[in-house]
Structure 1
Amino acid sequence: MAKTAVILFNLGGPDSQAAVRPFLFNLFNDPAIIRLPQPLRYLLARLISSRRAPKAAQIYARMGGRSPILPETEAQARELKRSLGSDDYRVLIAMRYWHPFASEAAREALAWGADRVLLLPLYPQFSTTTTASSLKDWRRAAAKAGLDVPMAAIGCYPEESGFIVAQTALLRQALAAVEAEPAQRGPLRILFSAHGLPKRVVLDGDPYQMQVERSVAAILRQLNRPEIDSVICYQSRVGPLEWIGPSTEAEVARAAKDGCAIVVVPVAFVSEHSETLVELDIEYAHLAMRAGAASYTRVPTVGTQPEFIVGLARLVRNATNYDGDPVSGSGEKPCGNAWRRCTCAS
C-alpha cells in the first residue's frame, strides 16, 4: 500500500506569551483575512497585532499562558492514527498561523518518504478564510520542500455522520443534565454558535454560512427534539465591517431576557481554544447570568469523541481523488453554482 501522509489543518495558536503578537501578525497578514495588497496589508497587520496583543495576552493568560489548540490537535492526530490502524499512514499537523507550520509538515512528510498526501482540515464547514487559505499555504510549502507526490484534499464535511453523531451525543448529554435540575421549569433554548465572517465575504460567494446551517439541520434531525427552540448565531466579531448574524452575544442576551435555560453548541469548532474556553465559557456565561438566564451550559467540542475520529478515518479511507482538487466529504459538490468561492470539485 502507498505511504500516505495525512495532514491535519488547523488554525494554530500562540504557545507562549511571547508568541501572541507574531501569531496575530501572521493571522492578519493573510490575504484571505485582510484583502489588501502589499505593503498595505503588512502595515495594517503590524498595527492591528500591536494593538490587540495586550488584550489577547490576557485572554491566553487565563488559559495558562498559551493556546490549548496544539495539544488538542495532537490528541486528535494520535486517535486518528490509531483508528486508521496501519503504518502506511502518518498523521501530521499543519497549523496556519503558528507552529507547526505547513512547511514543517511538508518536510516531515518528505523525510518519511510519503508516496501521496491527503489534506484534511479540522474545519467541517468550508470557508475561503480557513480551508482555502490552508490549501493555498500547503501548496506553497510543499513546492518549496520539493514534496512532489499525488495530493488529495477534503474540502468540507458539514454533514459527515461521525461529526454529526458526536456533536449530537454531547448535546443530548448537556440537555439531560439541564433537564434533570429540580429548579429547571422554564423554556430551553439551544444556541448553535459558529465563528463569524464579514458579510461581504459571504456575499462574494463563500459557502461557510450555508454549510453551518446544513450542519445544524443535520444535528437537529439527529436530536429529534422539535419542541426545543434553537437559533444559529455567530461570535468573535472584530473590526468595523458588518458581519453575518445574529451575533451570539445578542442571542445570549435575548435568551436570558426570555428566562431561558441556555445551551450553547460550538458547531463550527472541533477543538477547544480561546473562542470556546474564554469567549463562550467566561464572557458569555457572565453575560447570561447578569441578564437573568435560568442557567447557562456550554456543550464541549467533539475533540476526540470516538464517532468523530471514526468519521475522520472514514474520510481518509474514502479519499480517491488524487488530482489536487479538493472534494467534499460526501464526494459530491455540495454548494451549487451560487457559491462560487467553493473550490470542491464536481
Structure 2
Amino acid sequence: MLDARSRQDVTLPKDETEPHNPHLPADHPPVKRPRVGVLLANLGTPDNYDYWSMRRYLGEFLSDRRVIDYSPWIWQPLLQLVILSKRPFSSGAAYKSIWNEDLGESPLMTITKAQTEKIKAAMQARYGDDVLVDFCMRYGNPSTKSKVRVMAERGCRKILFFPLYPQYAGATTATANDQFFRALMEEKWQPPVRTVPAYFDRPSYIEALAQSVERAYAMMETKPDILVCSYHGVPQRYLMEGDPYHCQCVKTTRLLKERLGWDDTQITSTFQSRFGPEEWLKPYTVEEVARLAEDGKKRIAIIAPAFSADCIETLEEINEEIRESFEEAGGEHFTYIPCLNDDEAHIAALSEAIEDNLKGWLD
C-alpha cells in the first residue's frame, strides 16, 4: 500500500508521457518518457509525538534485525510487552521538545525536504528534466516502497538510491538498501539500479565539515579547548564481525583534523546513543564530556559528523543530555555545531556524489 503522503504523487502528469506512437494499439496505456530517478533516503521519523505514533515508529525501527539482531523469540516479547509499553512516552516527550509545530513535523523531515529541494534544483540545472529527485525514509513515512512505486509510475527506468549516511554501517546504510531492494521485488518492470556508497572520505564532504567548524569558531571570543566528534554508536561486537563503521568514523575525524591543520589534542572521537546491556563502541560521549570537564577542559564544542541532518539524537540528546553531563562535571561553555543540513557546501558535496554515480547513465 502507498502511504497517504505519497499516494497523491502517483498520477502521471501529461507532460511526462511520450507522444502517441502510431504503432501502438489505440487502447495502449500512455507510455512514460524515460528518465533516471535519484532517491534520497534517511532514517525516518514518527508522524507525531503522541503515544500511538511513537509506538508504530519505534516498533518498526526496533524490529529491524539489522538494528537489533537478537533472536526474535527473545527480543520480540521484550519489545512488545515491555519496551513499547513505556518508551513511546519518553521518546514522545523528547520529540515534542524539538518538534516543528509550524509544519507539524520533526526537524529531520523539515531538513530532508529542504535538502531534496536543493538537490533537485542542482540536478535540474545539470540534467534538465532527465532526472527525477525524491526522498524516502527507512522507517515511517514516506516509505521507501511508496517512493519506488512513484518513481516507476513516473517513468524512471533507472534509479540511483542514496542513503544519506556519510559512514557505512549495517544498521543504517545496509538496512536502507535492504528496504530499497525489497521494494523493487514488487515491481513488474524492475529498473536497473545503483546505490551510492559511503562518502565520508570525499574531499568535498570533509571541506563542508571543516567550513562549518571554522564558521562556528569564528563566532566565539574564546576558542574551545577541544572539538568532540560524536558519532552514533553501535555494539562493539559489530566491529568484530566486520562492520567498517568504527574505522570510517575514526578516519572522518582524522581527515577533518588534517584539513583544519590541528593536532591530536584539539579533536577527539566519541560515540553516543548506547542501547541495551552489551558493550558499544567507546568512548561513550556522555561519559567522555564529563571526563574532559573534570580534566580541566571547561570549554568544548561538539559536532555530529555521522548525521546528514539534525534529528532527535543531535537536537535533544547532544544539546540536552550530553550538555547536562558536561556542565554537571564542571564544564562551563558547551557549543553544539549543527549538522550540515541544507548548507550549500553540503548540497554541493551530495550533488557531486550523485553526479559521479550517474556516470554512464547520464553524461
Paired position in structure 1 for 2:56: 22
Name the aligned partner's letter for residue 149 of structure 1: P
| TM-superposition CA deviations, 1:212-257 (whole Å, max 9, x none) | 1111111111111227522100000011011010000111101111
Asked whether the 8 Å contact 2:287–2:325 carries over to 1, the reply is: no
Deviation at 1:41, TM superposition (A): 4.5
| TM-score (normalizing by structure 2) | 0.83
Paired position in structure 1 for 2:138: 96
- In structure 2, the CA distance between the partners of 1:45 and 1:147, relative to structure 1 (3 Å rule), is farther
Deviation at 1:320, TM superposition (A): 5.0
| TM-score (normalizing by structure 1) | 0.87
Query: 1:92, 1:305 → 2: CA distance?
Result: 18
Paired position in structure 1 for 2:176: 134
Choose the corresponding residue for 1:166, options 208, 220, 233: 208
1:291 matched to 2:329? The reply is yes
Unaligned runs of 5+ in 2: 1-32
Paired position in structure 2 for 1:197: 234
Alignment of 1:177-326 (within 5 A): 177-178=219-220, 180-181=221-222, 188-226=225-263, 228-260=265-297, 261-320=299-358
Name the aligned partner's letter for residue 8 of structure 1: L
Paired position in structure 1 for 2:44: 12
Query: 2:336, 2:296 → 1: CA distance?
Result: 17
Paired position in structure 1 for 2:117: 78
Choose the corresponding residue for 1:59, options 80, 89, 94: 94
Identity of aligned residues (%): 29
3-state SS of paired residue (2:45): coil
Deviation at 1:37, TM superposition (A): 4.7
Asked whether the 8 Å contact 1:7–1:120 carries over to 2, the reply is: yes
Query: 1:155, 1:145 → 2: CA distance?
Result: 24
Deviation at 1:166, TM superposition (A): 1.1
Query: 2:79, 2:200 → 1: CA distance?
Result: 31
Choose the corresponding residue for 2:129, options 87, 107, 129: 87
Unaligned runs of 5+ in 1: 324-346
Asked whether the 8 Å contact 2:34–2:155 carries over to 1, the reply is: no
Asked whether the 8 Å contact 1:103–1:145 carries over to 2, the reply is: no
- In structure 2, the CA distance between the partners of 1:287 and 1:36, relative to structure 1 (3 Å rule), is closer
Higher mean displacement: 311-320 or 4-13: 311-320
| TM-superposition CA deviations, 1:20-63 (whole Å, max 9, x none) | 11110001110101214545554343232333111101101111
Higher mean displacement: 99-108 or 1-10: 1-10
Report the RMSD for the aligned CA atoms in angstroms.
2.0
Asked whether the 8 Å contact 1:193–1:233 carries over to 2, the reply is: yes
| TM-superposition CA deviations, 1:314-338 (whole Å, max 9, x none) | 1111115889xxxxxxxxxxxxxxx
Asked whether the 8 Å contact 1:151–1:322 carries over to 2, the reply is: no
Deviation at 1:151, TM superposition (A): 0.3
Higher mean displacement: 87-96 or 129-138: 87-96
- In structure 2, the CA distance between the partners of 1:98 and 1:257, relative to structure 1 (3 Å rule), is same
Paired position in structure 1 for 2:151: 109
Query: 1:201, 1:322 → 2: CA distance?
Result: 35
| TM-superposition CA deviations, 1:55-82 (whole Å, max 9, x none) | 1011011113753211111111111111
Query: 1:52, 1:272 → 2: CA distance?
Result: 21
